[in-house]
């Protein structure tokens, strides 16, 4: 996977496509890989390759996102401590002045 900055740019474009799909019902610009428990899994591409992007529900503010990020990290650490292998996962905030949106990015 590539760095957060590269994913942020790719996810900004993906988020625009998601918002268009939600507003119009036209899903032609997004590639759905699957459906999760609380979100859809979409394909995203950047200079570093392709990945799965899971859009998280919008957060009320940055503090809530950072709390989620900490809990997510603790959860992954607990799984590792229990001997459970997990896929590489990166939480990436989409730059947006009005909304706090993030995706969980994982390799395909």
Q: What is the mean pLDDT of each run of 10 residues along the chain (108 residues)?
A: 75 95 94 90 91 95 97 97 96 91 95
Q: What is the pLDDT of residue 6?
A: 76
**Interatomic CA distance for residues 69 and 31, integer angstroms:** 26
Q: What is the pLDDT of residue 93?
A: 95
Q: What is the pLDDT of residue 21?
A: 94
**Interatomic CA distance for residues 95 and 12, integer angstroms:** 7
Q: What is the pLDDT of residue 90?
A: 94
Residues in CB range of 105: below 8 A, 6 or more apart: 1, 7, 11, 44, 51, 52, 53, 54, 89, 90, 91, 92
Q: What is the pLDDT of residue 69?
A: 97
Residue 65 phi/psi, 5-degree rounding, is -60, -45
Kindly indicate whether the domain formed by 4-59+87-107 is annotated with CATH number 3.30.70. Answer: no
Which residue ranges make up each domain of the chain?
Answer: 4-59+87-107
Residue 106, SS3 per DSSP: strand
Helix intervals (H) in the chain: 4-24, 62-81
Q: What is the pLDDT of residue 2?
A: 54
Q: What is the pTM of this model?
A: 0.87
């Amino acid at each position: 996977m590539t760095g957060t900055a590269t994913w942020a740019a790719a996810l900004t474009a993906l988020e625009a496509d998601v918002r268009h799909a939600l507003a119009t019902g036209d899903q032609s610009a997004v590639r759905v890989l699957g459906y999760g428990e609380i979100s859809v899994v979409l394909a995203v591409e950047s200079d570093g390759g392709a990945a799965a992007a899971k859009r998280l529900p919008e957060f009320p503010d940055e503090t809530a996102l950072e709390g989620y990020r900490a809990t997510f990290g603790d959860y992954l650490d607990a799984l590792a401590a229990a001997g459970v292998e997990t896929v590489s996962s990166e939480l990436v905030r989409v730059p947006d002045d009005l909304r706090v949106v993030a995706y969980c990015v994982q390799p395909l």
